[in-house]
Amino acid sequence: AKYSNFCNQQLSHFGILPFNKRPNLLLIRYNKDLIIVTVNELRNRAQFNARNCKEVKDKYGQTENGLYYLNTATGGVYQTFCDMTTAGGGWTLVASVHEDNIYGKCMVGDRWTSQQGNNANWPQGEGNWANRKTFGTVEAATDDDFKNPGYYDIEAEDMSVWHVPNNTPVNHWNLAAIMRYHTDRHFLHLYGGNLYQLFHSYPVEYNVGAHLSDNGPSIPIVYDLGDKESTKNVYDPYSGGEIEGGFISFRAINHERAATAICSGVKPKGGNVEHYCIGGCGFFPEANPLQCGDFTGFAWNGYGTHIGFSASKQMLESAVLLFYRQCTMH
Q: List residues binding ligand G3P (CB under 6 A).
A: 272, 274, 286, 297, 300, 309
What is the DSSP secondary-structure string of 10-68? Answer: HHHHTTPPPGGG-TTEEEEEETTEEEEEEHHHHHHTTT---SSHHHHHHHH-----EEE
Find the part of the chain contacting Ca ion (CB under 5 A) among 34-42, 131-139, 145-153, 210-218.
Answer: 145-153
The number of residues making up the chain comes to: 330
Angle, CA 69 vertex, CA 156 and CA 184 arms, to 5°:
25
- For residue 112, the minimal CB distance to ligand G3P (Å) is 19
Give the bridge partners for 113, in sequence order. Answer: none
Asked if 294 and 279 touch (Cβ cutoff 8 Å), the reply is yes
Give the count of beta carbons closer than 10 Å to the beta carbon of residue 241: 10
* Least distance from Ca ion to the Cβ atom of residue 42, Å: 30
98 binds, among Ca ion, ligand G3P, none (CB under 5 to 8 A by kind): Ca ion
- Binding-site partner at residue 304 among ligand G3P, Ca ion, none, CB < 5 to 8 Å by type: none
Tell whether residue 236 is a contact of Ca ion (CB under 5 A).
no
- Which does residue 242 touch among Ca ion, ligand G3P, none (CB within 5 to 8 A, set by kind)? none
Asked if 109 touches Ca ion (CB under 5 A), the answer is yes
- Least distance (Å) between residue 26 CB and Ca ion: 33
Residue 129 interacting partner from ligand G3P, Ca ion, none (CB closer than 5 to 8 Å by kind): none
CB of 237 to ligand G3P, least distance (A): 13
Q: 80 - beta bridge partners?
A: 68
Residue 309's binding partner among ligand G3P, Ca ion, none (Cβ under 5 to 8 angstroms by kind) is ligand G3P
From the list ligand G3P, Ca ion, none, which binds 317 (C-beta under 5 to 8 Å, kind-based)? none
| CB distance 82 to 61 below 8 Å | no
CB of 205 to ligand G3P, least distance (A): 20
Query: How many angstroms separate the CA atoms of 177 and 291, rounded?
Result: 26
Site string for Ca ion, 272-301 (x = CB under 5 A): x---------------------x-------
Sorted by sequence, the CB contacts under 8 Å of residue 75 that are 6+ apart come out as none
Nearest to ligand G3P of 145, 274 (CB atom): 274
Does residue 163 interact with Ca ion by CB under 5 A? no
Kindly give the pairing relationship between strand 222-225 and strand 91-97.
unpaired
Which residues are 67's β-sheet partners?
Answer: 81
Residues of the shown chain interacting with Ca ion in the complex, contacts defined by CB under 5 A: 98, 109, 145, 272, 294
